[in-house]
Structure 1
């Protein structure tokens, strides 16, 4: 049937019937097969697309006739009044496209000629009329063309509009906007892409952190293409999933977590290079150093929390476990507090492993020592097998290289390792006990051994016993030693302004000088 021969009344009747058919659709869908469901969806989608085109056509006709003006309102309100479903969204897009097609947005005339077929407006209007371009996409294309047109060669404008429409039809308006740099590169005026990216630099920004104690810290980041390229090149290799082929453990971290951990690792590496260039003590003044306050008992017993000082992250709360992990890999400047809140240690940079030690570890371990991990040595940090906070020595015999992911894993699962002077049959110097809590069991064993072998504390009573056991062959020298050493066992040592007098005999000198 010739669509032009269908009268308005016949169309109205068909539309009413279609509305009734659609209204009862859900009640009969159980009768359809799988193929019929797909067919029905395609039919309904085509009806919806034609309905969107008809909305724009009706609104444009109302504008041309002056019906909208006669109603004393604007196109947007007129559409909302007569298409109630668009009050949920979309009324503005229908009105915008209708006004653009009729010229209603800028001094329109009822007898205004239709736009040229190859003009941006003509191409968009044709797509809307046949239902292939939705009002939402049409609005986005017109907005993008308005932005791009001054920067394009005149003869290339129709080609660019067609490209935007085709891409938008397939993937939507958001993806369409990503085409902008390539369009400028291929169809823009000389130097336009360079100018655009230079202008972007002024809009790029990294916000100050929005810190919530005990919660996540939020940043807002906008980057130029150059900056984004550098960032992705840096974090891309580090953010890929890393399953462990040896243990069969899957990498269950979400993509967002992997990316933020990769960014953190890049920052840590940069900080480490900066600190090494400044020397062992230079990091205290460097922006990469971490200043933290924490009570000594909390650090040792893994309780309480620490608080960051002297940076834009001030007041961020870090758990003792996190501080223990940081102490393996960063310049930690502890402001350690005593039981009364007094500062016991202020501003001392803890350089846990020297550069020479780290180089030795890189030669020994070659990379991350966790079973199955292939991270190279450049991606690792030196980890204290027995933690520094638990008295672990900063010695290569108490160290193993770990990548950031497995460093966190080892601290979280509380794992211990054994360091051997010679490699095993797999060439490993560091062998990990992967049973959760193995570190705590090892630490308990160490503490028990220390309690057996360490000498008892040097109390005044024990000091008297030691002095009583001293043997000096000359009674005069013995009397002198007891008189001069008596202050050490006295409950009332001499005042600050008094000093012991007299010169010790030769034997007494040897008694006092423990290095002799």
Structure 2
């Protein structure tokens, strides 16, 4: 789901009715407390008995545990607010509400992260104020996570001044209307989008200030590794993320061709390493330099791989991103040293914007990853990066190529990325870089190569869709899947 469809500009919402407290049986509080303690004791038994459960029971247990995990934080915020109201926190030795929460978490035997304790405390304090009644009701009812509530509270003060016709309750209600899966990140993205629309100059000034305080630091960890910590303004972060993502896809490598001599190198610059125990070559690694100084790193792991076979890239996603960053640094160093001539930016950024955003500097642009850039940053990105602008309302290349082309064109893929934002299969969050464009009605069954017959799927779900014959309904704002097996035309198990 793309940001434009998932985080639309708000319309005046219907405010929720005031939370009504249902009268409870007098004296039930202590009984509820005892039952909650019993539940906590039962949780400690789960690891010892989980192997006794069937597959369906394990799935049911997982759902219950995840509900308890999220709901307990919401209820903790409500209870903490009550503790603040009655003076329990003030009469304790805790310096503030956050410390009070942390102390009780430690006393329970299951400490929580300081950030989570801070969120509970912030939301608890806010729930005591009438102006935050919308958030209070959402947290009590369980329709809003604590982290989203905290983000909404922090961002409401940024949005309210630029929309004078909306009061604070309306702004908070806008945030709560977002898809819960977007979480705090969706709240921040909507805030930037509102500012880009109603206060372009304010957003530009804000981002300019952020660029002035950008930092990059590093330090040594206990394991001897060096940890880099960077804080970047949205525009610069978008360029860096696009460049790293472009170079961090898995790279299956050809299996090394070993010579008869044990441990000898026979495949160009690749080096064979002997296993200390057996003397057998087990790892081959090679570097290759491409046009413009880009460096490719491939690692093959295995024993006795035959020539021509491919070896799976065993690097973790984090390792692949680290390698991509080092490739960018190495390529940039060669250009800076004058060893090679620059051949252009390695980053390709897909931006969605209105025509007026680009021509008049009003509004902003959105990347598939959810970053919202002001119009000025968009124009700067066009100078420094390989920019693919999708200008809504302006002239663009034809997207529907019908049956003249079987494979998806670059322009069509860009349009699908803008609309879908990643894998469209229910529950999947794989980004566009790990996805393929699927013909909903297969080409061989008469389907066209067009935007209305395309859906983005990650490799795994692309296989599942063809294996089970799933079909989808493609709308201008997204894709809805029908997970009934056999609906795909020509599928072996197609329904009559």
TM-score bin (small chain): 0.3 to 0.5
What is the TM-score normalised by the length of structure 1?
0.40
**Which structure's CA Rg is the greater one?**
1
- Bigger fraction of residues in strand: 2
The structure with more helix, counted as a fraction of residues: 1
User: What TM-score comes out, normalization by structure 2 length?
Assistant: 0.41
